[in-house]
Structure formats: structure tokens, C-alpha cells
Structure 1
Amino acid sequence: MAETHRYEQDQLRREAGEWFVIMNDENVSEEDEREFKRWLARGALHRATYNRIAGLHSAGKRVDWENLPPPKPVRGTAKRVWITVIGCMALIGFVAWRASGAPAFWPEADTTQMAQGHADASLQYSTEAGEVREFSLPDGSRLTLDGDTTIRAWFRSGERRLRLGRGRARFDVAHEERPFVVDAGDSEIVAVGTVFDVAFRDKRTVEIHLLRGAIDVRRAQSAGKAEPIRLEPGDELRYAIEGSGNSASVQKRGTEADWTEGVSEAQEARVADLIARVNNRSATKIYLEDPAIAPRIVSGLNGIDDPELLAENLSNLYDLQITRSGNRIILGDPQK
């Protein structure tokens, strides 16, 4: 958890540094200005981080580098002064270097690199339970993560590849020559200029839903043996990855409200799936006392971010008994 938090802070500082360079370019475009305002509007941390970068730059410009006072002979003071001086010089040098048009290079703890959003990159994106968050990717694509989701991304000269570790994500893919590939479970999803959702919540089931464009899905066990499965808008592919020979059938999915807005309209959805979705969004969790309830079917509008409302709806639909214990809502069959 601490590493994830530290990574997010580092990523925010990098983004703020990039925006500082862009906004101090005399040729900054109107689109960049609009995008910068949207970035600032994402939260107080974004504004504070940007102001800190701008403040360091302003402070560095006011330093008289030719007439610096000698450090006082106090234990530890000289070291701290020179560390501060070196830091300011490095920041000013970096800003001047980037403003000259030189490519960006961001070293990470492992193999992470970024070069103007088009060279090799290795990035990690994640959300906490109950959080839905949108990210801008280096290639211009948009990534939206549902609660408790992790994704690792590599942006190389020949491809854009992302691995969904767990959870659910929406990919709004920017069109370009490099293929956009998403790995989830034993599936490889290839897309170009399209919008699709991928869910991999329980490490056993993969769900792929295409909203716009076209994607090809290839499973590891069928590599070299079968053609990839081509999905069209509205198609949904769902299968279990455990065992061998698990068939993957494509079905048309009913009209569904956008889950990224916090509402899901279930069309012939299983109770278990609805509960998994609402549990991703809330600290209050719904549990099934009787596993026989899980495959029951629900249709209609159900609040995806309101466990209380969903529990009440399911109780009314199927005459289930509700038991509450702390942040747990237990649904059981009163006949048992």
C-alpha cells in the first residue's frame, strides 16, 4: 500500500513537471490550455503539486548564483545547503532542457521510461475499493478503472500493452499504427481505435464487452489452433479460465447504463455479478448466505454504488431475508 501511494505521488509530480514545461512554452495551444485546466480541476493535490513546482522554479530564478554566501561551519549545515543548491540547479536545468524540445526521460524504480508518450514506458495504475478513476495514457488513450483494480502498462516503439491484474477497466483507445493489446487471465485482446470493457475480478472469470469499434480476442490455450474471436459493438464474451476446453461464447448484451457513471442497468444479469459490482464500489459488502441464490437472474435498473438499495431490491424480488452485521449485508432464503 505504501509503495502504491509513493508511486502515485511520484506520478503526480511528473505530470505537474510536464504541465509546467508545456504551459511555459510561448507556443502553447488552446487545446493544451483546456486540458491543463481539466487536469488542475481533478483535485487539490494536483493544484498544490503544480504550485510547488512553479514555486521552486521561481525561487531558483531569484538566486544569485555568482555571489552565493559561504556555508556556515556548523555540523550538517553545509551538506544541506549544497543539496538544496544542487536540487535547484537540477530543476532549472531540467526545465531549460525540456523547453528546448529535448525528449523527456523519466527513470523509474524498475524499467519505467517515458519519451513524449510514444517511446518505451512501464506504468502502474490502481484504485482502492469504492473508487472509480480516469487516467490519460501516454499515447492519448483514456483508461477508467473500477474499484479495487490494478493495471500494468508498457508503451514501446512497436506496441502498447497493458495487463489487467484484477478488477474492471474501460479502454478508450487512441487510433495509431501501434497495436493496443490488453492481457487478462489467459486472454489477449487486440484493439485499434475502439472502446471496450474488460473485467477479471475473481481470477477465474474473464468478461469482455465491446462498446465501439472492433477487437480480436485470442486465448492462450487456443494459440496456433484457432482464429481469434472477433467482437462487434454490443458483443460480450465471458468464460472461466480454470481447467481445459472451457468454451467461450459470444452474446449480445442488452442496453446498459454506463458503469463509469455509477449506475448499471442489468439485462438478464446474475445476482452474483451484480453483488460483485456493487462490492467493488463500497466499503459495505453484500454476502450470499445461500450459494443457490447466486445464479438467479435480475433485469432492470439497479444502483451499482448503493449496496443498501441493491440488497433491498433483491430482497423484494426474491423474498430474501436481510441480516446486517457491521459493514456486512447478508442475503439469505427465509425458507432455509
Structure 2
Amino acid sequence: MSRPPLPELPDNVVDQAIGWLVRIESDGANPQLLEACQRWRQAHALHEVAWQALQKSDATFQGLAALPGSVARDTLQRLQGGRHSRRQALKLLGVGLLASGVTGWSMRDSTLVPWGADYATEVGERRQFVLDDGTRLQLNTASAVDVQFTAQRRLIVLRRGEIFIDTGKDAATAGGRRSFWVSTRHAQLQAIGTAFAVRDEASGTRLRVEDGVVAIQGKGQPVMVAAGEQYLIDANGSQRVETSPLNASAWARGQLVAKRMQLRELTAELARYRHGWLRCDPAIAHLEVSGVFQLDDIDQALSALSDSLPVRVERFTPLWTRIVAR
């Protein structure tokens, strides 16, 4: 018995489903994101139909990485064409989704800002704020925090992403300087007159201290982290990171500083600052890169890679870029 055809899906529903799919791809470990996606799917029957169809069509992008360049380019050009051309292109990749809207989807919507966050940034955006106590708070790409100041303490809750903090003197408080804390999924950090970077990762919380001291609080005695030191904190405790190919706080100056970093890892870092798909061919993933890349111009950073390594950058659409051997 043949399967009944899928209903004709409205373009706006397909656009939303594509947006959710890319968000999950880029940050699938975020429980708030998964819950929000589930709520969207349950809000209307057509949402679930579109979602299930896209689960099968995820190969539209994943499969392109394994295709010859000419075939991938032709497919993506069809995706950019009219409704009939997009259907043909999707079928070319073995996809039965009768829908459009891949290029019509607004890339500004590709990252979900956590609902109710006090401060947040979107993909590719970095922002700086000065809090009431004089603290300078910087948010990296796709980040969100809550600020909870009371008479006894100052607390920053990192909900997602990465921050840099230069703690303020808190001079206006009548009762004296309040303690300063940062809370993440994995760690409770107490700052002691300091400047430091904190990054929320799937595997744990990464801390780098630039000035002063930060205490990692947990079971037993706190771990005191001094300037120049970096730690990774997870469910098993805290471990000092002796060497790292990535400067953990250079982003606060608008730079990505790499030292003998594998191209695979560098590509993943650059992908955090741009919309769409950025992938590295596994055949060149092991190449090592050292350099300083400006975060305000990721396309220029990609071009610099082709100037210094035996690679080339293939840009098929604003949605999809890959780095391959030259």
C-alpha cells in the first residue's frame, strides 16, 4: 500500500521548522531549547508534520558534505529557485518534503534567545554592559545571562554561551562590598576582585582568570584559580587545563587567537559566529593552524585559511560553506 502524500505545508510553517532544526543542530544539548522546540511542535498539528518531514530531510545539508562540488552546487541552486525547483532538488537528495522556504528563512532567527534573560546576544553578536555596581559584563555570541543583585551578594547566572567579567568596586553599597558570584550548570564561582572569562560547554564550564583570583566552590575546599590559569569544571570536579590551542578570553577583544589548533576545532569555533552550516572536510581536519582572526569578519578569516593552508573555501549559499582540500 502506498503512503498517503504529505499535506501541502504553508511556507511559514516550513520556515519555522527549518529554524528549529538548525538551532537543535548548533545547540542540541541546551534543555531549554529542546523544551521550546517541543512546545512549538505541540502547538499545531502542521508543526509536527513539518518537523517529522524535516527529520528525514536533514540529509539535505548533511548529505551535501559527501557530494561532489558540482552536484552540491546544482542542488543548492535549485533550492534557491522557485517552488517547483526546490521540490526537484529535495527529491534529488532523496527527500520527500513538499515545501519551500530554505532561503526565505530569516537567518537572524537561527538562535533562540532564552525567554526572559536579562541580557542576551544573537549569533555573531558581542555586547558589553556596565552594571549598577560598576561591573563590566561582556557577552559573546549566542549568550544569555540573568543578573541578581541583593543587599548581600551579586550573582550572574550564565544561562548559555560565554561571558567576560571585570568586577566593579561596588562603592555605592552602604554595607560594604558585596560578594560576587557566577553560577553555571556545572559550577559556582566566587570572584575576588578580578577579571575572568566563563564559557558554558556541553561537557562542563570553562574558566580562565585574567586578573585576581576566582574560587571554584564545591564539595570540600574551594579551588583557587589565579591569573593566567584555566580550569574545566564538570560533574567530576575541576581540572586545570595546562595548555589550550584557543585563547579563552581573546574574544572579548574581538579576536580568535589559535595556537597549533586543528582545523576541525578552528572551524567549529568560527561556526559559532555565523549563521548556517560551516563544515570542514575530514580529510584536512588534522591540519594545524596558528593565527589571529578578527571575529567581526568571519568571511575574511575563512579567506585567510585558504591563503595559509592547502585548502579552499566553497561557498554555495549563505546557508552552507565548507572547507575542502585544494
Q: Give the TM-score normalised by structure 2.
A: 0.54
Alpha-carbon deviation of 1:325?
2.2
Contact 1:197 1:210 (8 Å CA) reproduced? yes
Alpha-carbon deviation of 1:214?
0.8
Change (3 A) 1:297 1:153: farther
Cα distance in 2 between the residues matched to 1:291 and 1:157: 56
2:297 is matched with which residue?
Answer: 306
1:179 is matched with which residue?
Answer: 179
Change (3 A) 1:281 1:183: same
Contact 1:267 1:298 (8 Å CA) reproduced? yes
2:221 is matched with which residue?
Answer: 227
Alpha-carbon deviation of 1:140?
1.6
Match runs of 1:49-88 below 5 Å: none
Alpha-carbon deviation of 1:262?
1.9
Say yes or no: does 1:164 pair with 2:158: yes
The SS at the match of 1:264 is strand
Per-residue CA distance 1:52-80 (angstroms, 9 max, x = gap): xxxxxxxxxxxxxxxxxxxxxxxxxxxxx
1:191 is matched with which residue?
Answer: 191
Change (3 A) 1:306 1:186: same
Counterpart of 1:298, as a letter, is V
Cα distance in 2 between the residues matched to 1:290 and 1:253: 22
Change (3 A) 1:170 1:323: same
Cα distance in 2 between the residues matched to 1:291 and 1:195: 40
Cα distance in 2 between the residues matched to 1:247 and 1:268: 25
Contact 2:123 2:275 (8 Å CA) reproduced? yes
Per-residue CA distance 1:245-272 (angstroms, 9 max, x = gap): 4762233679968423322332344445
Match runs of 1:1-336 below 5 Å: 124-176=118-170, 177-200=177-200, 202-218=201-217, 223-224=218-219, 226-238=220-232, 241=234, 245=236, 248-251=239-242, 258-283=250-275, 286-290=278-282, 293=285, 297-327=288-318, 328-333=320-325
Larger RCO: 1 or 2 (CA < 8 Å, sep 6+) = 2
Change (3 A) 1:289 1:205: farther
Per-residue CA distance 1:171-225 (angstroms, 9 max, x = gap): 110135322111223111110221111112x43342211111111123xxxx32x
Change (3 A) 1:305 1:270: farther
1:46 is matched with which residue?
Answer: none
Cα distance in 1 between the residues matched to 2:179 and 2:283: 41
Counterpart of 2:198, as a letter, is V
In the alignment of these two chains, the number of paired residues is 203
2:43 is matched with which residue?
Answer: none
The SS at the match of 1:174 is coil
Change (3 A) 1:180 1:303: same
Alignment RMSD: 3.1
Which runs of 5 or more residues in structure 1 are unaligned? Answer: 1-121
Identity %: 22
Counterpart of 2:274, as a letter, is S
Contact 2:232 2:238 (8 Å CA) reproduced? no
The SS at the match of 1:227 is coil
Cα distance in 2 between the residues matched to 1:208 and 1:305: 24
Counterpart of 2:212, as a letter, is G
Counterpart of 1:131, as a letter, is E
Counterpart of 1:281, as a letter, is Y
Alpha-carbon deviation of 1:127?
0.9
Contact 1:151 1:162 (8 Å CA) reproduced? yes
Cα distance in 2 between the residues matched to 1:292 and 1:238: 28
Cα distance in 1 between the residues matched to 2:131 and 2:271: 27
The SS at the match of 2:242 is strand
Change (3 A) 1:152 1:308: same
